[in-house]
Structure 1
């Protein structure tokens, strides 16, 4: 006969959920991570025999107490940012992760005058499948992890969103709020934008998706030098949301290559 296990000590109020009240002045930190990044954090947490939350807290505590070398941590963060970069930046970067006047070799085509400059929209990359003016599928872009890149997997791919996943809530809201009735039948790569996506830098009132192949604004007579792009982006107004500065520019080559530059990539002027 199998051994039965006791219920343990009952709560004083069985109908009330157990809650932890943070000390006064504490704040909650929320960050979005990919499935691969989440697994990496969990692996380290398991090795340290702590939860992921305690892992992050211990890092913050070490920084606050001065027992973690901030400079070394910053170097590791910059390495991580380079791994996350999906479209190459036009220029090389310095030790402070700001661009310098040294073009990247893989972006030589931009400096040769090739490619169309478009406004860079700061959101989430998705793909909407449209048939007969109706939205039939919503996918989000996934990018190879550092380990996958070392295995030769360099191109990203799209995977289906999950109706019940909290991570996909605002992507799906943007897709459903987008009028696709006039779109041709196709799989349309888009940028999902809105109040709950990437901090909403364009201060949009609603969530929506902007198709790269149909509506992304094109800029004319864009300079292709370090100083020219720096000075342009310092005052370049968004054509998608007038009254706000454009985040940057993405150059599109006819063969599918892309290269980008953002206003915040440049060193801050004094």
Structure 2
């Protein structure tokens, strides 16, 4: 007859779940990822027979121990960054992911002097729908996955935010912090900005949305050559947050095309 095992030492408070306390000095890292990126991480984790958290820790441990070289990882990161790019950058990139003096063919209209230059704001792309001066809908941008791109789906779309979704918390805070009473009825693409969005490079003290079709800061007489843009962006002050450097410039064509260039795109030694 099989011997019956005891229940072991009881918890002090049976109603509370056991809690793991990290060692002193440890930190927790959090990153927002798309559903497609999350699936890709889970797929690798399943193949490695570990959790996603352990997958990330294993990578960090490999770097710390030298079994994974920075050069190996940097190459993969740069390829991933190229996949994430939504608006084309004006120039081609080198192996170090810095731009070189070779214009991209699809951006020829910029070098022909067409389009308006506006400040590139580093936030999250959203869309606000306004009716009778009231905010009635908040959406966030979604871009096609690699599999969808392979099927010919190249344009992104907007998806509804959810009140109970943790990943939408700060987008909704930015939407509610935006005064839309004077906006015309319609859908307004915006950049959500603020202390808890994209590291807050402009040092803002509140969350808000800046509509591209109404308030995007415009720059006049912007150079449109490699050397001219490199020098211009090195000292370009933000029109939205004076005193801070602008992240870059987005050129807008009347037909809806866009192209961008950021200060950090250029080689540091140039």
TM-score range, shorter-chain basis? over 0.9
Give me the whole-angstrom Cα distance separating, in 2, the residues matched to 1:147 and 1:52.
22
Task: State how many pairs are aligned.
Answer: 265
Partner of 2:147: 147
CA distance in 1, matches of 2:174, 2:67: 43
Paired residue for 2:262? 262
Residue of structure 2 equivalent to 1:62: 62
> Which residue number corresponds to residue 189 of structure 2?
189
Return 5+ residue gaps in structure 1 as ranges. 1-5
Distance in 2 between the 1:47 and 1:269 partners?
42
SS at 1:58's partner residue? helix
Cα deviation 1:150-197 (Å, max 9, x = unaligned): 111110000000100110000000001100000000100000000000
Q: Does 1:166 align with 2:166?
A: yes
**2:236 alignment partner in structure 1:** 236
Per mean C-alpha deviation after superposition, the further-off stretch among 84-93 and 144-153 is: 144-153
> Where does residue 249 of structure 2 map in the other structure?
249
Structure 1 residue 108: Cα displacement? 0.8
Cα RMSD (Å): 1.5
* Structure 1 residue 73, shift from structure 2 partner: 1.8
Counterparts of 1:256 and 1:11, CA distance in 2: 63
**Aligned mates of 1:145, 1:74 — CA distance in 2:** 22
1:41 paired residue number: 41
Paired residue for 1:199? Answer: 199
For residue 51 of structure 1, report the CA deviation from its aligned partner: 0.6
Distance 1:89 1:43 in 2: 31
Distance in 2 between the 1:149 and 1:179 partners? 37
**1:178 maps onto 2:175 in alignment:** no
Corresponding residue number in structure 2 for 1:3: none
Deviation at 1:17, TM superposition (A): 3.1
SS at match of 2:172: helix
Give the TM-score normalised by structure 1: 0.95
SS at match of 2:92: strand
**1:132 match:** 132
Query: Are positions 1:52 and 2:52 aligned together?
Result: yes
Partner of 1:221 in structure 2?
221
CA deviation after TM superposition for structure 1 residue 65, in Å: 1.1
* 1:211 paired residue number: 211
Counterparts of 1:68 and 1:239 in 2: how far apart (Å)?
43
* Structure 2 Cα separation of the partners of residues 68 and 195 of structure 1: 34
- State the Cα distance separating 1:72 from its structure 2 match: 2.1
2:30 match: 30
2:264 is paired with a residue whose SS is helix
Once the two structures are superposed, residues 127-171 of structure 1 have per-residue CA deviations (whole angstroms, 9 ceiling, x without a partner) of 000000000000000011112111111100000001001100000
Cα distance in structure 1, aligned partners of 2:228 and 2:127:
33
1:20-41 Cα shifts (integer Å, max 9, x gaps) = 1111221111111111101110
Q: What's the CA shift for 1:11? A: 2.6
Tell me how far apart the structure 1 counterparts of residues 191 and 142 of structure 2 sit (CA, whole Å): 14
